[in-house]
Structure 1
């Protein structure tokens, strides 16, 4: 168990990044949070430019903002979550405040899905003491990019969801009640897949942003509740579904993702893509259902709709297994912190741990 540490936490104050920061506080660490996006000019144009160029032209602004927020404090460790705006010069500057600088990036900056978004991050890889990645393929990719040490971790759900009394209430779930749902952002491959489910007559509901960009939007529009969801609304939407479809990002080459942990913990039945990592997480047919194509997914859903008792058994077993797996933010952050502090012992090594 790591003793209480003083941590300079640099990451967006939203979504799963914020959840990981709060987990550090629950673990008893003293956390100074800095959102690098607060350094950008106000307005959507700056955010769009940053996404497309990897923060090109914003490096000095980000460094000035972090330095002003950190002041004259000294920290045991600087932890960067994502690192979209953090270039090599910024990592070097952070050593004025902390002897160890590490990064966890839940995205996949080593593929081309997001264009130039990860320009700054990739230029900073070799400057970190340690990188944490959620994909086995990222280990070799990070090493090729110059990483000193790389540790592979699992995605994680948030700890309050362990407690049945902290799950979404029946009232919170009412706007999202569905037999089958997908909760998430549109991506090109997702529209075609979900259209097949809809055309098969399944009672599908879709919740999430950017679905108006789908080529299939006209056909899917009656099934879509469009827009960003707050973390609370996301949890309620997942928990309100009898069956939750788990689609992975092909562009990110995911074999599991955060929703692979969240769906069972929230009490819904996980019906996801069959991958080696999903099969490590859950026993197929007893704790979750998996498919290799749309037709197999359709067949699973049809059977479950006629057998609610089986659906409930699988959902309950899935939640129990997710709790045993212990892939939650506090465990993730504790593990990463222990590994990060060990980086101090061998700062020059470039071996993959």
Structure 2
């Protein structure tokens, strides 16, 4: 399906291309930060991204690196905050968009606010309180917080003093999450009946442990960080199929090589009442043309049709039953995968929708309104621009694969 060439407009609003100072936007292939930055660039925006991970290591492996991080973490974070302020002083920009912002100190944001430019936050995680002390303190300092969690609302506004809260959704990166042609070597290395990619949690372990207990004949691979915290029984049953995290193209390879990809959701560590309804995996898996069996929520049903584009489950028993159905019906599994993939492209479910909403908010709260053509993406960078029926309509060139 080629999505290039189609144009849409939304209402009568438009604005000149903006320059966005973007602290916290990871640049690595497959990151959500990069996906959002690329979506903004495809709309003709200029993104001055500062990758927090250039300053602060968040994935140290081994005892030595972990000790070094503990010793120097505060120094690295201070250096990162100084770099953000230096960039803000040196650059000309229209607004600031922080991605998550767990290493930004409140005093840094106050200094940025003193410049008089709007400052927003994009927040992709379950809870505002699970990722260090800075985030809860910073929320009241942003002009607007864009959250991917539909359950963030009045409670969070009151608790954290949030000035304005807007809901956007997760998405896939069309440059990264796409169908991958598998060689026999890749199938041999990555192939399995069922896989799950994601960080450990007690709830996810319980689901997977039920599966491997009930169906020891089904090959299950688990990729991600934190699984060293899993029970000895789980680690023994999974054995060599418990793998390190996979990212970028390797993530897409894993999805394509797995007959069934599980979409398991997270709970908040700090508040048991907070539970994911969708996550980035919700869109990334079907965007690769792969089969997804996802935990059932009202929200995921607004994006995909159960039994036609994905499969959904509500209990461990239903999960196992649908895994057996999918494994026993390759033709049906492939048909569902294809329809889910087509739905991802038709909407599209990339990060363009979130990028649109951020730009629309900026337009609505400033006097900068230009011609309709001002939001036409750069002609050299149009892959993945949004197109579908549910995306907010600004003047754009549509995406291709």
TM-score by length of 1: 0.85
Structure 1 stretches (4+) deviating beyond 4 angstroms?
Answer: 39-43, 45-50, 55-60
What secondary structure sits across from 2:319 in the alignment?
A: helix
Tell me whether 80-89 or 22-31 shows the greater mean CA deviation: 22-31
1:73 correspondence with 2:85: no
- Give the number of the structure with larger relative contact order, counting CA–CA contacts within 8 Å between residues 6 or more apart: 2
Q: Which residue of 1 aligns with 2:164?
A: 149
Tell me whether 166-175 or 3-12 shows the greater mean CA deviation: 166-175
**Shift, 1:326, TM fit:** 1.8
Residue 267 (structure 2) aligned to one of 238, 241, 250? 250
Residue 198 (structure 1) aligned to one of 184, 203, 212? 212
Residue 124 (structure 1) aligned to one of 107, 118, 138? 138
Cα contact 1:129–1:343 (8 A) shared by 2: no
Q: Which has the higher helix share?
A: 1
**Shift, 1:234, TM fit:** 1.0
Cα contact 1:207–1:237 (8 A) shared by 2: no
What secondary structure sits across from 1:23 in the alignment?
A: helix
* Distance (Å, rounded) in 1 between the aligned partners of 2:229 and 2:340: 33
Q: Which residue of 1 aligns with 2:118?
A: 100
What residue ranges of structure 1 are gaps of 5+ in the alignment? 346-353
* Distance (Å, rounded) in 2 between the aligned partners of 1:22 and 1:46: 33
Relative distance call for 1:246 and 1:336 in structure 2 (3 A) is same
**Shift, 1:58, TM fit:** 7.0
Relative distance call for 1:37 and 1:45 in structure 2 (3 A) is farther
What secondary structure sits across from 1:335 in the alignment?
A: helix
Tell me whether 324-333 or 100-109 shows the greater mean CA deviation: 324-333
What residue ranges of structure 2 are gaps of 5+ in the alignment? 1-13, 269-273, 368-401
Q: Which residue of 1 aligns with 2:224?
A: 208
Q: Which residue of 1 aligns with 2:312?
A: 290
Please give the residue correspondences for 1:1-353 in structure 2 after superposition, counting only pairs within 5 Å.
Answer: 1-11=14-24, 12-14=26-28, 15-40=31-56, 44-45=66-67, 47=69, 60-95=78-113, 99-111=117-129, 114=130, 117-144=131-158, 145-160=160-175, 167-171=179-183, 173-174=186-187, 175-201=189-215, 202-215=218-231, 216-222=233-239, 224-251=241-268, 253-344=275-366
Aligned length: 334
**Shift, 1:97, TM fit:** 5.2
* Distance (Å, rounded) in 2 between the aligned partners of 1:49 and 1:125: 28
* Distance (Å, rounded) in 2 between the aligned partners of 1:131 and 1:46: 33
**Once superposed, what is the RMSD of the aligned Cα atoms?**
2.6
Cα contact 2:55–2:77 (8 A) shared by 1: no
* Distance (Å, rounded) in 1 between the aligned partners of 2:83 and 2:176: 34
**Shift, 1:2, TM fit:** 4.2
**Shift, 1:320, TM fit:** 1.6
1:77-131 deviation per Cα after TM superposition (whole angstroms, max 9, x unaligned): 11100110123321222235561100001013335xx3xx331111111111110
